[in-house]
């Protein structure tokens, strides 16, 4: 057996702590829907930011990074690093607007921005789609990673791992609501960072690897370490670098990187005390997610190319692993089996905690959609706060059963990642523009939604032989054409609805000039915020690249880090202008 009694004790200790937090938070989380789904809107910005980071780190995240590195090298990570552009857009533009709206969920936005039956349909349909279907797909991908982790590291069937982790997740999520989720997120983040860095140091010191210098010069690794793709070959740099940075970040809807800052990012923004707190929390999330966390996973992925050069080597080492779950992504949990007792328990606890963190967030978010935007809006409008909290708990149980079951049918983290990107291709631009252009209406979103599903279904299940990146471009292009045409061929929203939106949100800019209301003139700050977005992206990418160069023992890393620190200092000075 790989895990010792000490390892199991560490894991059990974390699970017990999560239950205690849930019981403690239940006293405040059961008062109302806002306390259950928004933690009372009184949490500090740094706790909300760390919660965002912890939620984005699930059991499938290091598996996905490992799959990418083993297939496409370090440069392959631009497929998700590109989402930093969306993240910084959320920081300097949408965090303030979402917090100002005073909404309970981002789905409720539909009946603030649009009017009539189309708006009601959008709210109800999106509540069911995101709360059940899309949310279940996300939880299925997370559950898949937990299954592989359980079979390789814990040496127990995947379904038993799910029962163990899901049971504890249910307890604290159902009892304590978002407050319990966020506090356990904080604990999980600390454990995860300590565990991943410590595990990386230990693995690199193994005799088979020896040191960083030996690692990056190994024949199996040397062709995988470049941070940027080979720009002399368009077959490499176009799908790995150009498409993510030119199309993917704005055109697709991906959890945690939604254009316009929706999903659980918006939920944390709603929970912030004020607009500045919302911006600070979102910046901390993007800074930590893209600049601080990736390299330990990348180094373990590179090390796996020495220990397990091919998939067959993993299969030989773990013959009991289900053949349907075998892929490059399982190299990460396979590498963890090399850790000593104690450290293996800590890392295992961190990965179980990562699974629970993402699952609990998706459960609470999905339940908020189903309760606030479907049950309360369409089924029982006169429901009391106590009834709504109870409904949220029922939907939480239902959602985890569906999500965990779906995890048993998926095969790889990369498969789930590409499917999520493809389903939302082409809709992202609407979520960005609807805040600043009055002409976008409810029918715009309905047309985009239907077009995206039809096009994605055909490209993914219609025996179309084509690379995934080409499918994303074609899907985004066709869906965008459909909704742009639909916008001009359908009636605009009622003027009263548009004026009320401007009064509540005050987005400013030429796109709303005709609907302005009596208010002291103030300068539109979007142009200045676009400059801050550029500088924020520059800072985070500079730090990401700088750390990579230092790991590769390249002195230019100090230069990139200096650029990053200077940029962050400028952003801090500019924060006084908010």
Q: Which pLDDT score, from 0 to 100, does residue 519 have?
A: 54
270 inside domain? yes
Q: What backbone phi and psi angles, to 5 degrees, belong to 275?
A: -65, -40
Tokens 């939880």 — which residue? 139
Mean pLDDT of the chain: 85
Q: Which pLDDT score, from 0 to 100, does residue 290 have?
A: 92
The answer on pLDDT for 417 being more than 60 is no
The answer on pLDDT for 412 being more than 70 is no
Cα gap 546→558, rounded to integer Å? 6
By CB atoms closer than 10 A (0-12, 13-18, 19+), residue 190 is middle
- Can you tell me the mean pLDDT for 537-545? 95
The answer on pLDDT for 566 being more than 70 is yes
Q: For a pLDDT cut of 90, what percent of the chain falls above it?
A: 38
CA 52 to mean position of chain CA atoms: 8
359 inside domain? yes
Q: pLDDT tier at 31 (50, 70, 90 boundaries)?
A: low
Q: Which pLDDT score, from 0 to 100, does residue 179 have?
A: 85
Distances (CA, A) of 281 to 47, 186, 214, 288: 8, 13, 39, 11
Q: Which pLDDT score, from 0 to 100, does residue 97 have?
A: 93
The answer on pLDDT for 443 being more than 90 is yes
Cα gap 550→545, rounded to integer Å? 9
Q: Which pLDDT score, from 0 to 100, does residue 544 have?
A: 95
The enclosing domain of 211 has a CATH number of 1.20.1730.10
- Which tokens sit at 418? 């590409």
Q: What backbone phi and psi angles, to 5 degrees, belong to 43?
A: -90, 145
The answer on pLDDT for 518 being more than 60 is no
With a CB cutoff of 8 Å and minimum separation 6, the contacts of 523 are none
Cα gap 222→236, rounded to integer Å? 17
Tokens 């292009």 — which residue? 477
Tell me if the pTM is above 0.85. Answer: yes
pLDDT per residue over 165-223, tens digit each?
A: 888 888 887 777 888 888 888 988 888 888 889 999 999 999 999 899 999 999 999 99
The answer on pLDDT for 350 being more than 80 is yes
518 inside domain? no
pLDDT per residue over 487-499, tens digit each?
A: 999 999 999 999 9
Q: Which pLDDT score, from 0 to 100, does residue 30 have?
A: 62
Q: pLDDT tier at 577 (50, 70, 90 boundaries)?
A: low
User: Nearest CA to 448 among 129, 83, 112?
Assistant: 129
Lowest average pLDDT, out of 183-197, 266-280, 415-429, 538-552, goes to: 415-429
- Can you tell me the mean pLDDT for 426-448? 90
Q: pLDDT tier at 298 (50, 70, 90 boundaries)?
A: very high
User: Nearest CA to 488 among 433, 434, 440, 436?
Assistant: 440
User: Nearest CA to 244 among 456, 95, 465, 75?
Assistant: 75
Cα gap 302→69, rounded to integer Å? 7
183 inside domain? yes
Q: For a pLDDT cut of 70, what percent of the chain falls above it?
A: 92
Q: Which pLDDT score, from 0 to 100, does residue 486 have?
A: 93
Q: Are 307 and 338 in contact (CB under 8 A)?
A: yes
398 inside domain? yes
- Say how many residues make up the chain: 578
- Can you tell me the mean pLDDT for 295-299? 95
pLDDT per residue over 368-407, tens digit each?
A: 999 999 999 999 888 888 888 888 888 888 888 887 777 7
pLDDT per residue over 237-296, tens digit each?
A: 888 888 888 887 887 776 777 888 888 899 999 999 999 999 999 999 999 999 888 999
User: Nearest CA to 410 among 110, 121, 67, 75?
Assistant: 67
Q: Which pLDDT score, from 0 to 100, does residue 69 have?
A: 95
Q: Are 259 and 428 in contact (CB under 8 A)?
A: yes
**Secondary element (H or E) of residue 205:** none
456 inside domain? no
The answer on pLDDT for 40 being more than 60 is yes
Neighbour tally for 6: CB within 10 Å: 15
Longest C-alpha distance within the chain, in Å? 72
Q: Which pLDDT score, from 0 to 100, does residue 316 have?
A: 86
Q: What is the chain's alpha carbon radius of gyration, rounded to the nearest angstrom?
A: 23
214 inside domain? yes
Tokens 């359980």 — which residue? 150
The answer on pLDDT for 416 being more than 60 is no
The answer on pLDDT for 48 being more than 90 is yes
For residue 246, the enclosing domain spans 5-411
Domain count, the chain: 1
The beta-carbon contacts of 98-102 under 8 Å, at least 24 apart in sequence, are 98/261, 98/266, 98/269, 98/270, 98/278, 99/269, 99/270, 99/272, 99/274, 99/275, 99/277, 99/278, 100/275, 100/504, 100/505, 100/506, 101/504, 101/505, 102/504
* DSSP state for residue 340 in the 8-state scheme: P
- Which tokens sit at 450? 């239907």
- Can you tell me the mean pLDDT for 148-162? 78
571 inside domain? no
pLDDT per residue over 336-345, tens digit each?
A: 889 998 998 8
User: Nearest CA to 278 among 287, 288, 268, 264?
Assistant: 268
């Amino acid at each position: 057996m790989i895990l010792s009694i000490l390892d199991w004790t560490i894991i059990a200790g974390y699970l017990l702590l999560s239950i205690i937090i849930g019981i403690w938070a239940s006293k405040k989380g059961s008062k109302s829907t806002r306390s259950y789904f928004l933690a009372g809107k009184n949490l500090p910005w740094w706790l909300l930011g760390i919660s965002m980071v912890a939620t984005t780190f699930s059991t499938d995240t290091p598996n996905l990074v490992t799959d990418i590195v083993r297939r496409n090298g370090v440069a392959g990570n631009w497929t998700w690093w590109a989402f930093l552009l969306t993240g910084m857009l959320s920081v300097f533009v949408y965090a303030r607007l979402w917090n100002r709206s005073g909404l309970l969920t981002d789905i409720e936005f539909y009946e603030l921005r649009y009017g009539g039956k189309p708006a009601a349909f959008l709210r109800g349909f999106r509540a069911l789609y995101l709360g059940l279907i899309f949310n279940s797909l996300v939880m299925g991908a997370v559950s898949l990673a937990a299954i592989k982790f359980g079979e390789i590291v814990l040496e127990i069937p995947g379904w038993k791992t799910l029962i163990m982790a899901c049971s504890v997740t249910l307890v604290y999520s159902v009892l304590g609501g978002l407050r319990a989720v966020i506090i356990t997120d904080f604990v999980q983040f600390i454990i995860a960072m300590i565990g991943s860095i410590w595990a990386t140091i230990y693995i690199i010191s193994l005799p088979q690897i020896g040191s960083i210098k030996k690692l990056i010069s190994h024949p199996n690794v040397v062709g995988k370490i470049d941070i940027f793709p080979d720009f002399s070959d368009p077959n490499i740099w176009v799908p790995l670098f150009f498409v993510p940075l030119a199309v993917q970040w704005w055109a697709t809807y991906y959890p945690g990187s939604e254009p316009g800052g929706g999903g659980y990012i918006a939920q944390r923004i709603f929970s912030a005390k004020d607009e500045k707190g919302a911006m600070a929390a979102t910046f901390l999330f993007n800074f930590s997610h893209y600049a601080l966390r990736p390299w330990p996973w990348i180094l373990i992925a590179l090390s796996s190319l020495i220990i397990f050069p091919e998939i067959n080597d993993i299969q030989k080492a773990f013959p009991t692993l289900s053949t349907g779950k075998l892929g490059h992504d399982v190299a990460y949990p396979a590498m963890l089996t090399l850790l000593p007792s104690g450290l293996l328990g800590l890392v295992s606890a961190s990965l179980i905690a990562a699974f629970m963190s993402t699952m609990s967030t998706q459960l609470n978010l999905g339940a908020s959609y189903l309760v606030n935007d479907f049950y309360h809006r369409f089924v029982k409008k006169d429901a009391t706060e106590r009834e709504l909290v109870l409904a949220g708990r029922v939907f939480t149980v239902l959602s985890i059963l569906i999500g965990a079951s779906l995890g048993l049918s998926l095969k790889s983290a990369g498969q789930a990642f590409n499917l999520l990107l493809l389903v939302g291709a082409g809709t992202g631009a609407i979520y960005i523009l609807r805040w600043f252009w009055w002409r976008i209406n409810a029918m715009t979103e309905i047309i985009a939604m239907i077009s995206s599903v039809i096009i994605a279904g055909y490209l993914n299940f219609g025996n179309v032989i084509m690379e995934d990146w080409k499918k994303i471009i074609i899907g985004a292009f066709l869906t965008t054409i459909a909704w742009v045409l639909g916008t001009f061929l359908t009636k605009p929203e009622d003027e009263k609805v548009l004026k009320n939106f401007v009064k509540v949100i005050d987005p400013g800019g030429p796109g709303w000039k005709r609907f302005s209301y009596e208010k002291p003139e103030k300068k539109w700050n979007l142009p200045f915020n676009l400059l801050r977005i550029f500088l924020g992206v520059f800072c985070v990418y500079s730090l990401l690249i700088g750390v990579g160069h230092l790991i590769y023992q390249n002195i230019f890393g100090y230069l990139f880090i200096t650029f990053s620190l200077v940029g962050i200092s400028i952003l801090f000075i500019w924060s006084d202008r908010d």
